[in-house]
Amino acid sequence: MADGSIQTAASEAALSLDGITCTFVSRDAAGGRYTAVRDTTLTVAPGEFVSVVGPTGCGKSTLLNVAAGLLSPTEGRVRVFGQPLAGINARAGYMFQGEALLPWRSALDNVAAGLEFAGVDREQARESARQWLRRVGLGGFEDRYPHQMSGGMRKRAMLAQTLIRDPDIILMDEPFSALDIQTRQLMENEVLDLWMAKRKAVLFITHDLDEAIAMSDRVVVLSAGPATRPIGEFNIDLPRPRDVAEVRMQPRFVELHAAIWSVLREEVLKGYAQQKRA
C-alpha cells in the first residue's frame, strides 16, 4: 500500500502540490516579505493517509489552505485528481483547528449545513445529519448549540459536518490539539475507523509525532519556518487496523519514532529558538 502509493501518485494522485511557494507581504517591515512555504512538493494518493509534522509556526496550515483552495500559492500548481485547482477545492472536506461550528445553529443544523448548501432537501439533509451525529457518538445532542457542548463534542460535530458531504479528500488541521489526551485517543481511533470504512485520501497536519505515526501511511517532516519545505518522508509500515494507544507499544513504532524524531528534533529546536527570539 505504502509503496504502491508512490507509483500511483505520479499518474492519478488525489491531491498533488507541485513546487508550492507562498510569500506574504510582511506587516511589520514596510516592503518586507515573508516566505512561509518554499518549493514544496507533496502528493496524496487516493485512500492514503498522509501526516505532515513540523515545529509550531512552520507554515503547516498555509500548506493545507493551499490544498483547500482558500489560498492561492505565489508559485506552483495544485492538482486534484489530475485537474488543476481553481477556487475552492470542492472535492475536499476541511476540519479546522479552531472553532468552526456556526454558533447560531444547533448541532443537527451545523452537521446538515454542507448538504443544505448543496441544495439537498432540508428534511433529507437533517435525517442524514441525524445519522452522522449518531455515528460520531452525539446521538441525543441534536438540539445543543455549540456553546452548550464540550470541546470534544464540538470536535465530533465538526467531524460529522466535514464527512457528511462525503469528500474524496479530507484535510485536517491539528483537529485534536485542544483535547485532553483520553478524549484525543478516543477520537483518533474513531477517525481511523471511519477512514478504514471509506478509505478517502487524508492530509493530516499535526505537531504531535506520536499521533502522526499511529494514524498514517506516510509521515512528511517539514523544516522550521520561514521558507518551510519537506525534509524527510517516512512510510509507516505498521499493520492495520490499529489502535492508537496500543500501537505505541510496538517495537516498530518505537523504531520509526526514533528515526523521524532524529530528523524532526533539530527543526523543533530551531523553531523554538526562533520563537524565543520573537
**Pick from 96, 141, 261, 272: which binds other proteins (CB under 8 A)?**
96
State the DSSP code for 24: E
Site membership for other proteins, residue 276 (CB under 8 A): no
Instruction: Write down the residue that cell numbers 505565489 correspond to.
Output: 74
Task: Select 94 or 253, whichever has its Cβ closest to other proteins.
Answer: 94
Cβ atoms within 10 Å of 215's Cβ, excluding its own? 26
Task: Select 168 or 217, whichever has its Cβ closest to other proteins.
Answer: 168
Site membership for other proteins, residue 90 (CB under 8 A): yes
Q: What nine digits make up the cell of 92?
A: 475536499
Q: Give the binding-site size for other proteins (rule: CB under 8 A).
A: 29
Q: Which stretch in 26-34, 86-94, 187-195, 263-271 sits in contact with other proteins by CB under 8 A?
A: 86-94
Residues between 101 and 120 that touch other proteins (CB under 8 A): 101-106, 113-114, 117-118
* Distance in angstroms (rounded) separating the CA atoms of residues 160 and 166: 10
Phi, psi angles (nearest 5°) of residue 178: -90, 0
Cβ atoms within 10 Å of 231's Cβ, excluding its own? 15
Segment holding 219, helix H or strand E = strand 218-222
Cβ atoms within 10 Å of 25's Cβ, excluding its own? 10
Q: Are 250 and 243 in contact (CB under 8 A)?
A: no
Q: Supply the minimum distance, in Å, between the C-beta of residue 103 and other proteins.
A: 6
Q: Are 158 and 101 in contact (CB under 8 A)?
A: yes
Task: Select 70 or 259, whichever has its Cβ closest to other proteins.
Answer: 70
Task: Select 132 or 253, whichever has its Cβ closest to other proteins.
Answer: 132
Q: Are 58 and 267 in contact (CB under 8 A)?
A: yes
Task: Select 61 or 235, whichever has its Cβ closest to other proteins.
Answer: 61
Residues between 210 and 269 that touch other proteins (CB under 8 A): none
Tell me the sheet residues that pair with 80: 15, 83
* Distance in angstroms (rounded) separating the CA atoms of residues 141 and 197: 24
Task: Select 38 or 155, whichever has its Cβ closest to other proteins.
Answer: 155
Residues between 52 and 71 that touch other proteins (CB under 8 A): 65, 68, 70
Query: CA separation (Å) from 226 to 39, 46, 120, 140, 231?
Result: 12, 30, 43, 46, 14
Q: Supply the minimum distance, in Å, between the C-beta of residue 127 and other proteins.
A: 18
Residues between 131 and 160 that touch other proteins (CB under 8 A): 145-148
Site membership for other proteins, residue 170 (CB under 8 A): no
**Pick from 1, 25, 86, 88: which binds other proteins (CB under 8 A)?**
88
* Residues of the shown chain interacting with other proteins in the complex, contacts defined by CB under 8 A: 65, 68, 70, 88-90, 92-94, 96, 98-106, 113-114, 117-118, 145-148, 161, 165
